[in-house]
A and B are shown apart, each in its own frame.
Chain A
Amino acid sequence: MIILAIETSCDETSASVLKSTGGRLELLSNVVSSQIDIHKQYGGVVPEVAARHHVQNINPVIMEALETAKIKPQKLSYLAVVSGPGLITSLIVGVEAAKALSVAWQKPLINVNHMYSHIAGNFLSKVEFPAVCLVVSGGHTELVLLKNYSQFKKIGQTVDDAAGEAFDKVAKLLGLGYPGGPAVALKATEFLISNFQFSKISLPRPLINSGDFNFSFSGLKTAVLYTAQKMKKKELEQRTSEICYEFQQAVVDVLVGKTMKAAQKHKVKTVLMAGGVAANKKLRESLRESVEAKGLKFGVPEFRLCTDNAAMVAIAGYYLAKKKRPSRDDWKKVKVNPNWELK
């Protein structure tokens, strides 16, 4: 089976070709045209700019993915595309391109959820089920229980801010740059290096003992705000790295704590991680330690498969195609769905 996947749900225009031979998966190409640098100038995302870049990049990116893979369109078994969740004006570029190609090349189109594709970034190698996956990004924080590669259920989510968003906003509160995740993580490391003691600042671990699998990070953001407000300018400058250290620790404690509780309750064999925040080293290593200490398997996609990319969409498409054979008419049912939540 050979799949061409397309992803335009947010900032990156991406296309990828995946080949499976007897269940063994091989990525033949994964082309990503990132706009992060462009959006950095604005300190955020600019929908109009994003969409314009997707429109400009979509065809060259698809062609490059096919050329790198040395695959002619006739050789493809299926196409796959992300139709949500995401920014409507960005999603529509990829979805319409995929539909047009589906008709032109007479290849069935597989509809993929962006969050599921993040999880599928873990499926390049075999996974022992049941598994639980912590999906953390700028816009999402979710715990998903997987029965197998394509059957899953969301068992918890943030009730307010996402973890990545909390990092960004804390960076803003402390006057650090955008994107906030790496800036806060870097400061936290500085504190660790220059101090052999624990942070004297103590922030809450919201919902850590709530009994369910939901998260809340807005209270943590507020606690950082109060902490910063109480300090004089000079003191705040001196203790910014200490605040970052404690903040990151609080986020990690909650994410790891709840993921482990979910693992235990649902007697999983494997704990997985996905999404852009999986790039946070402290989080990744803490979760790995806890998981391995319990004798369970741990998995996280390699870094380039953590951020938005079409390779993970292709992998997701592969497992969806195995579950239900796609048909040539399927493109008619594919519609952009900016609010498509995992169930």
Chain B
Amino acid sequence: MKYITKSERETLNVAEKFVQRLKGGEVLCLIGDLGSGKTAFTKGLAKGLGVKNIITSPTFVLLKSYTAKLKNINKLVHIDAYRLDSGAELDYIGVEEYFSDKNCITVIEWADRVKDIWPVNAIEIKFKVLKGNKREIHIK
């Protein structure tokens, strides 16, 4: 599914709607350049999942986890591989546990940097910066 959004708000909306397709246990692998909207998209997901906190960029802390409230989904885990070179590093901090949790949604920014640990059910979402504020979001 491909979307072209013209503002951050539209990206948030795409993400919030996308939440309806989630059952819990999904791992969303976000790929795209700096400023392409991966964190913005995650903010939309969080809204859809009923997360109360402000979603901030996890680039420096690598991982943030939030309490979610939507049907059986009670957790949103927001990971950022921007500063990592391989998935082994994420393994090391215990992300496997989240991948196999049916009540958790895991989002990984810069997921192309940690392809070695993508689970089989990973959902790839690609972001492209088009002209100006246009972004292409491709959910595979």
Contact = CB atoms under 8 A, between A and B. Distances in A.
Nearest to B91: A48
Interface in A22-71: 42-48, 51
15 contacts: A43-B83, A44-B83, A46-B84, A46-B85, A87-B93, A139-B59, A159-B56, A160-B56, A160-B57, A161-B39, A161-B57, A165-B60, A218-B57, A221-B34, A338-B63
B64 interface: yes
Residue with the highest number of chain B CB atoms closer than 10 Å, among A51, A85, A137, A338: A338
A139 B61 contact: yes
A92 B1 CA distance: 42
A192 interface: no
A81 to B, nearest CB: 19
Contacts of A169: 34, 59
Interface string A163-186: 011001100110000000000000
B60 A162 contact: yes
A182 to B, nearest CB: 16
A51 B92 contact: yes
Residue with the highest number of chain B CB atoms closer than 10 Å, among A87, A222, A229: A222
Given A44-B82, A47-B93, A172 B34 contact: yes
B120 interface: no
A47 B92 CA distance: 7
Contacts of A161: 39, 56-57, 59
A48 B39 contact: no
Contact of A164 (B34, B60, B93): B60
A85 B61 contact: yes
Interface string B19-38: 00000000000000011000
A7 to B, nearest CB: 16
Residue with the highest number of chain B CB atoms closer than 10 Å, among A47, A168, A338: A47
A46 B92 CA distance: 10
Interface of B: 34-35, 39-40, 54, 56-57, 59-65, 82-85, 88-89, 92-94, 129, 132
A218 B93 contact: no
Q: Ordered nearest first, which 3 A-B pairs have the shortest CB separation?
A: A44-B83, A139-B60, A222-B35
**Interface size bucket, A side?**
35 or more
B61 A338 contact: yes
Interface of A: 42-48, 51, 85-89, 137-139, 157-162, 164-165, 168-169, 172-173, 218, 221-222, 225-226, 229, 338-339
Nearest to A88: B93
A39 to B, nearest CB: 9
B54 to A, nearest CB: 5
Nearest to A43: B83
A51 B63 CA distance: 16
A86 B93 CA distance: 12
B30 to A, nearest CB: 15
Contacts of B39: 160-161, 218
A312 B88 CA distance: 33
Contacts of A173: 34
A135 to B, nearest CB: 13
A162 B34 CA distance: 14
Contacts of B94: 88-89
B60 A48 contact: no
Nearest to B65: A339
Contacts of B129: 225, 229
B10 to A, nearest CB: 15
Given A44-B84, A165-B59, A218-B57, 16 more contacts: A47-B93, A51-B92, A87-B62, A89-B92, A137-B60, A139-B59, A158-B56, A159-B54, A159-B56, A160-B39, A161-B59, A162-B56, A164-B60, A165-B57, A165-B60, A172-B34
Contacts of A157: 54, 56
A227 to B, nearest CB: 11
Nearest to A52: B92
Residue with the highest number of chain A CB atoms closer than 10 Å, among B34, B39, B60, B92: B60
Given A159-B54, A165-B59, A339-B65, A46 B89 contact: yes
Contacts of A47: 62, 89, 92-93
A85 B65 CA distance: 12
A226 B33 CA distance: 12
A197 B54 CA distance: 40
Residue with the highest number of chain B CB atoms closer than 10 Å, among A42, A157, A160: A160
